[in-house]
Structure 1
Amino acid sequence: MKLHTHEWGTGDRLALLVHGIMSDHRTWRTVGPALAGRGYRVIAVDLRGHGASPRGEGATPADRYGPERLAEDLVDTLPAGADLAVGHSLGGLALLRAVDRLRPARAVYSDPAWCFAQPDLFDPVVFTHFRQATREQIAVLSPRWAAADVDVEVATLALWDPDSALGLADYYATAALPGTPAVPSLVQLPDRSFLTGPEDAERLRGAGYELRTVAGAGHTIHRDDLAGFLASLDGWL
Structure 2
Amino acid sequence: MLLNVVEAGSGPRCAVLLHGMLGSAESWQRVVPLLVDAGYRVLALDLPGHGLSPRDPTMTLEGAADAVVDTVRAFVDHPPAVAIGHSYGALLLAAAAERMRPRLAVYVDAPLAFPGGADRDATLARYKRDKRVRTPQRLRETRSHYSEADAVVEGRAAERFDPATSASISAGPGGSWAPSPGSIVLRAEPSEFVTDADVRVLWEHGVDVRSIPGAAHTVWYSHFDAFVAALPEIFSPDVGGPS
TM-score class normalised by the smaller sequence: 0.7 to 0.9
Q: Secondary structure at 1:136's aligned position in 2? A: helix
Is the 8 Å Cα contact of residues 128 and 165 (structure 1) preserved in structure 2? no
Q: How much has 1:74 moved relative to structure 2?
A: 0.9
The residue aligned with 1:54 is 54
Distance 1:147 1:156, change over 3 A: same
Pair 1:28-2:28 in alignment: yes
CA distance in structure 2 between the aligned counterparts of 1:67 and 1:213, rounded to whole angstroms: 27
Does the Cα contact within 8 Å between 2:15 and 2:43 map onto a contact in 1? yes
How much has 1:153 moved relative to structure 2? 0.8
- Per the TM alignment, residue 127 of structure 1 is displaced from its structure 2 partner at its CA by 4.0
Aligned to 1:233: 231
Which residue of structure 2 lines up, in the alignment, with residue 184 of structure 1? 182
CA contact (8 A) 1:11 1:39 kept: yes
Question: How far has the Cα of 1:157 moved from its partner?
Answer: 0.4
Aligned to 2:63: 69
Residue in 2 aligned with 1:44? Answer: 44
For residues 123-147 of structure 1, what are the alpha-carbon distances to aligned partners after superposition, in whole Å with 9 as ceiling and x for unaligned?
8353442101132321133211111
CA change 1:70–1:142 in 2 (3 A) is same
Structure 1 range deviating more: 24-33 or 162-171: 162-171
Q: 1:224 to 1:107 in 2, by over 3 A?
A: same
1:184 maps to amino acid? G
Q: TM-score, normalized by length of structure 1?
A: 0.86
Letter in 2 for 1:149: D
Aligned equivalent of 1:90: 88
How far residue 236 of structure 1 moved from its aligned partner, in angstroms, is 4.5
For residues 1-16 of structure 1, the aligned pairs below 5 Å read: 1-16=1-16
How far apart are the structure 2 equivalents of 1:15 and 1:109? 13
Q: SS of 1:17's equivalent?
A: strand
TM-score, L = length of structure 2: 0.84
Matching residue's letter, 1:143? S
**What is residue 98 of structure 2 aligned with on the other side?**
100
Residue 114 of structure 1 deviates from its aligned partner by 2.0
Distance between the aligned counterparts of 1:8 and 1:215, measured in 2? 31
Provide the rounded CA distance (Å) in 2 between the counterparts of 1:50 and 1:97: 18
Query: What's the C-alpha RMSD, in Å, of the aligned pairs?
Result: 2.2
Gapped regions of structure 2 (runs ≥ 5): 236-243
Match of 2:144 in 1: 143
**Offset from partner CA, 1:65-99 (integer Å, 9 cap, x none):** x2101110011100341110000111001111111
Specify whether residues 207 and 188 from structure 1 end up closer, same or farther in structure 2 by C-alpha distance, changes over 3 A only: same
- Distance in 2 (alpha carbons) for counterparts of 1:152 and 1:213: 26
Return the letter of the residue paired with 2:155.
Answer: V
Letter of the aligned partner of 2:228 in structure 1?
L
SS at match of 1:99: helix
Q: Count how many residue pairs are aligned between Structure 1 and Structure 2.
A: 224
| 1:112–1:11 Cα change, 3 Å | same
Structure 1 Cα separation of the partners of residues 94 and 142 of structure 2: 28
Distance 1:228 1:180 in 2: 22
Secondary structure in 2 aligned to 1:131?
Answer: helix
Residue 194 (str. 1) matches residue 192 (str. 2): yes
The 3 A distance-change label for structure 1 pair 100 and 82 is: same
Equivalent position SS for 1:167: helix
1:69 maps to amino acid: G
SS of corresponding position for 1:149: helix
Measure how far apart 1:216 and its partner are. 2.2
